[in-house]
Structures are given as C-alpha cells and as structure tokens.
Amino acid sequence: MTEEIKLPYAYDALEPFIDKETMQVHHDKHYIGYRTKYATAVKGTEFEGKCACCALRDLSKVPENIRAAVRNNGGGQINHKFFWKLLKKDVPFDGPIKDAIEAKWGSFDKFKEEFSNAAATLFGSGWTWLVKDGDELKIIQTPNQDSPISQGMEPILGLDVWEHAYYLKYQNRRPEYIEAFWSVINWEQVNHNLKKSEECCSK
C-alpha cells in the first residue's frame, strides 16, 4: 500500500474506543473500495489523476453519466481521508477551535450535545459535520457520502455514522459509538482544519 492510501497510524491505535477489526475493514475494504470505484468512474475524463475535491466542489461540471458515481465514490474517498486524520487518542480540546465553539455554543457540553444528537438522529447512512459556512460554524448532516464541499461549506470535524464504521463493535448501539468518538478526536487536526481548510486543488 502506498503512503498516500495507508492508514496514518496502526489499526489498533484507537482501541478500546474504535476497535482494530473495524479499522481494518473500514479502511482496507470500504475506503479502498471508494478510491478504486472513483478512479474507474473518472478514467479518461478531465478529472482523472486529480483530487476528488475538484469534481465535488462543482458537481454540475461532472458529466451526467458519471455524476452519481463521482458523488458517491469521490465523496467516500475524501470524507474518509478527512476522517482518518481526525482520529487520535489523548489530544486535549484546546486552541482556536475551543474559543470558536465556546463563542458559538456557549460551552463544549452544549456543542457536544447538539453534535451527538445530530449524529444519533441521522436516518440511515451518512455523516455529521462541524462545518464553516462562510465565517459561521454550523453542525450539519449529509446523507450517504455527500460532502459539505459540494454545498460550498468547509468541513472542520466529521463523524462517519454509516453502520460499517461501528457495527462490528457496537452493533445497533450507535449512541455508544458516538460517545466513544469524543475520546479519539485529534483536536490539533481540527484546529488545522479551522485555520486552513483541507488541502484541495481547486482552493
């Protein structure tokens, strides 16, 4: 596996909150699957060899016959790549993101409650995000693998609530997985995302 697609830490690095087996299947099967299917969809088009962000920032420019494949698999590719970098144990909640969250929600607990509730109530498969919409921070949900960047927003923090992200360990107990997520957030990366949106060719 090349550096580009390798998980940036050991599969068991997030134990006991997110288990090794889930990370193996999630990364090696689901994520790699999205990448492969995206590469196949854009082969021979102007998007071949470019970051999937290029296509997702303006889906109207993507040929109609591959638009759904690009939206689903390109989204799956960049959402997961973003998610892997967000996960690390024992990183304190600090820095500009702390100030920004407290300014908007009043307290971390209030923010956590609203984000967790959005993740728990998302019907079916999708993601819950903290995004920057212009200068404003917002919590949003997206269905399937839809990326906030297709709506003109920049992801700051995101939680994968597809069953493939938690079912092996938590089965139908999604709220327990959501609670565990708060123990593995790499706030340094979140601060990086707040300051400078995820690197993308079209920015």
Min dist. Cβ of residue 115 to Fe ion (A): 17
Contact 70, 59 (CB under 8 A): yes
Helix (H, G, I), strand (E, B) or coil at 170: helix
Q: Which window, 50-58, 110-118, 165-173, 189-197, contacts Fe ion (CB under 5 A)?
A: 165-173
Interaction between residue 160 and Fe ion (CB under 5 A)? yes
Q: Which window, 11-19, 51-59, 124-132, 161-169, contacts Fe ion (CB under 5 A)?
A: 161-169
Min dist. Cβ of residue 105 to Fe ion (A): 26
As given in the structure block, the two tokens for residue 127 are 């993601």
Min dist. Cβ of residue 169 to Fe ion (A): 14
The residues pairing with 159 across neighbouring beta strands, listed in sequence order, are: 128
The count of other CB atoms within 10 Å of the CB of residue 96 is: 11
The count of other CB atoms within 10 Å of the CB of residue 97 is: 24
- Total residues contacting Fe ion by CB under 5 A comes to 3
Interaction between residue 146 and Fe ion (CB under 5 A)? no
Nearer residue to Fe ion within complex by CB, 96 or 175: 175
Min dist. Cβ of residue 108 to Fe ion (A): 25
Cα-atom radius of gyration of the chain, to the nearest Å? Answer: 16
Cis before 16 (ω within 30): yes
Q: Which window, 8-16, 38-46, 122-130, 154-162, contacts Fe ion (CB under 5 A)?
A: 154-162
CA 1 to chain centre: 21
Sites of contact with Fe ion (CB under 5 A): 160, 162, 165
